[in-house]
Structure 1
Amino acid sequence: MVTYNSEAHIVDLLDSIPAAMGDLNYSVVVVDNGSSDGTLGVLDSRDDCTVVRSINSGYAAGMNRAVAASPAAEAILILNPDATLDAHMTPIMLDVLRRPGIGVVAPRTREADGRLSPTLRRGPTLGRVGGLSFTGWPVFTERIEQRQAYAAERPVDWATGAVLLVSARCYAQLDGMDESYFLYSEETDFSLRAKDAGWLTVYTPDAGAMHVGGGSGESATTHTMKSLNRIRLYRRRTGTFRASVYYGLTVLIELRRAVLGHDKSWPTLRALLRPSLRPPLLKAGESILPR
């Protein structure tokens, strides 16, 4: 796992791990990306995890560092620090992962109040750029919200990365997560690249976890990163022309949101239109279309 100012959540996650692992042999490695709260104090007080101190070089870089610091294993359980795991969930996920051709397994995830968390996603397309979930039409909707879609095991394009079990062979074949995204879209990119290489991402309802969400907070900067990285991912997968259309649609969507009162959309809109205002950590280039 990778922590960043995760003091409020990390204890609950660490305490849930032993029961979640059942009889499996495992190690716990935590990379801290430069927390300024009490996260490191909490981690240093425990004897059930290895702590790697790091500068904040991004989530993907932190996860790659955690995997590199881990003993050789059959599988990698990727965890957000604001998740907690149900008992015996990892052996269930591992049974699914051991089937031929499966590279990533996602569990059934719930919110803190027990409601289903809609973690499954369809791949990005021009039609889905607006996130028009209210239509219920797959052609316009990346997020899968229908409850019946979570009732049975199924392959998916990708799933949000709060809790994912990944084949170590798959992770190594893809050279880990793409560190250029810094934050957001890294799990999307990973599952889509895995699919390109012949590895499936599979959802199972038989393993469960809870995810608080937003454990490190959200700001205008992180909202901007999310928008820019979606464009970058789409460009890398489809080319400049289609990505230019995707970019234009994103600008219109952020303008609409800003006019409707979403305060984080104004800084995002400015960063979309003025490359000099983009978070330098992304290294998205100086052209109007993010690289």
Structure 2
Amino acid sequence: MGVDPEDDGRPGVVLVVVTWNSAEVLPGLFASLELGMAGLRWRLVVADNASADGTPDVVRAEMPDALLVETGRNAGYAAAFNAALDAVGKLDERTDAVFVCNPDIRLRPGCGAALVAGLKAHATGITAPVLYDGTGRMIRTLRREPNPLRLLGEMVLGAGRSGRFAALGEQVTDPEAYRKATRADWAAGSLMAISRECLEACGPWDESFFLYSEETEFALRAGAHGFATRLAPDAVAVHLEGEATVSPKLWTLLTLNRVRLYRRTHRPPAVAAFWAALLLRESSRALLGRSASRAAVRALVSPAKMREKPGP
């Protein structure tokens, strides 16, 4: 397993998996790789953020040829991805792409090759697969750049209905968009392929985002460099999904990072409008009894939380 020393014409890929206490879900990912990465020369790199459940032992036992990078701390998703690439070293011309992957992903046959094929079209720098959850429901992963109007549109109409209109929804909800190579401003980052050229032009992921918004920031930066993000409709995977939508702590981190990201590229009046729209949306959800949104509201109105460096 890995990138073959001789170029036999197959695309070369470095597959980075970021783990934290992932021993239970990793075997399922590993079992999907033989068929999921068929047709590629690939190398597996696992970047582990100081797991306490034996995750590194699972990697050594089940994938002994993998490069295991242990960060020694809960460093965050972007920092672990960067550490993995640092350990690999400079990507040569035989490496066409780098994949970044959650441990609870299950690749369907041919997924990897379809992601790489998508990179070769339309000046694409990032490709994302069609994702399904553990129940077989398609996950709408394509996104438009966030702004206040889209936040308010989601609050009033709901994410499903607002997403039908580009001006009113961040989430792309049109089913037709998931049947073709649709361009998006960014895509959910549980599995994505990034071309070598895109990585070289854009540089490392932003480690100031401990978790959430790191893939958004990178995709928007890639777009500014001329690299599109597109769906690869023939690439299919299953994402068992995490707990961001139910854990108050994780939802709060996700919400605060949205403001931090918007602040990077907008002037204070626009940032204030974005913060107010986000506060209004989360407040409306809190009134409906959503505990995660109540926690997010408390953080949004806390100057200390808004200044706090993201972390575990």
Q: Which TM-score applies when normalising by structure 1?
A: 0.91
The residue aligned with 2:84 is 66
Say if 2:62 is the partner of 1:49: no
Say if 2:110 is the partner of 1:91: no
Amino acid corresponding to residue 281 of structure 2 in structure 1: I
Q: Work out the number of aligned pairs and report it.
A: 283
Say if 2:98 is the partner of 1:76: yes
User: Which one of the candidate residues 181, 192, 210 is aligned to 2:220?
Assistant: 192
The structure-2 alpha-carbon separation of the partners of 1:147 and 1:155, relative to structure 1 and needing over 3 Å to count, comes to same
Instruction: Report if the CA contact (8 A) 1:6-1:215 is conserved.
Output: no
Counterpart-to-counterpart distance in 1, 2:268 and 2:294: 25
Instruction: Report if the CA contact (8 A) 2:244-2:251 is conserved.
Output: no
Per-residue CA deviation, residues 236-272 of structure 1 (Å, 9 max, x unaligned), is 1222210111111112222222221111222221211
What SS class does the counterpart of residue 75 from structure 2 fall into?
A: coil
Instruction: Report if the CA contact (8 A) 1:177-1:190 is conserved.
Output: yes
The residue aligned with 1:106 is 128
Per-residue CA deviation, residues 119-174 of structure 1 (Å, 9 max, x unaligned), is 11111121112433234333221111221211112211111011101012211221
Instruction: Report if the CA contact (8 A) 1:6-1:216 is conserved.
Output: no
| Cα deviation, residue 27, structure 1 | 0.7
Instruction: Report if the CA contact (8 A) 1:223-1:268 is conserved.
Output: yes
The residue aligned with 2:55 is 39
What SS class does the counterpart of residue 21 from structure 2 fall into?
A: coil
| Cα deviation, residue 217, structure 1 | 8.8
Counterpart-to-counterpart distance in 1, 2:49 and 2:19: 6
What SS class does the counterpart of residue 28 from structure 1 fall into?
A: strand
Say if 2:288 is the partner of 1:260: yes
Instruction: Report if the CA contact (8 A) 1:5-1:216 is conserved.
Output: no
User: Which one of the candidate residues 133, 143, 162 is aligned to 1:121?
Assistant: 143
Identity of aligned residues (%): 34
Amino acid corresponding to residue 105 of structure 1 in structure 2: T
The residue aligned with 1:211 is 239
| Cα deviation, residue 42, structure 1 | 1.3
The residue aligned with 2:180 is 152
The residue aligned with 1:231 is 259
Question: What's the C-alpha RMSD, in Å, of the aligned pairs?
Answer: 2.0
Per-residue CA deviation, residues 151-204 of structure 1 (Å, 9 max, x unaligned), is 112211111011101012211221121111110011111111101110011112
- Greater displacement, 173-182 / 17-26: 17-26
Say if 2:52 is the partner of 1:26: no
- Greater displacement, 203-212 / 137-146: 137-146
Counterpart-to-counterpart distance in 1, 2:265 and 2:61: 44
Counterpart-to-counterpart distance in 2, 1:66 and 1:270: 35
Q: Where does the alignment leave 5 or more consecutive residues of structure 2 unmatched?
A: 1-16
Amino acid corresponding to residue 227 of structure 2 in structure 1: W
The structure-2 alpha-carbon separation of the partners of 1:94 and 1:60, relative to structure 1 and needing over 3 Å to count, comes to same
Instruction: Report if the CA contact (8 A) 2:187-2:216 is conserved.
Output: yes
The residue aligned with 2:169 is 141
Q: Where does the alignment leave 5 or more consecutive residues of structure 1 unmatched?
A: 284-291
Q: Which TM-score applies when normalising by structure 2?
A: 0.85
Counterpart-to-counterpart distance in 2, 1:197 and 1:97: 15
What SS class does the counterpart of residue 108 from structure 1 fall into?
A: strand
Counterpart-to-counterpart distance in 2, 1:141 and 1:66: 34
The residue aligned with 1:286 is none
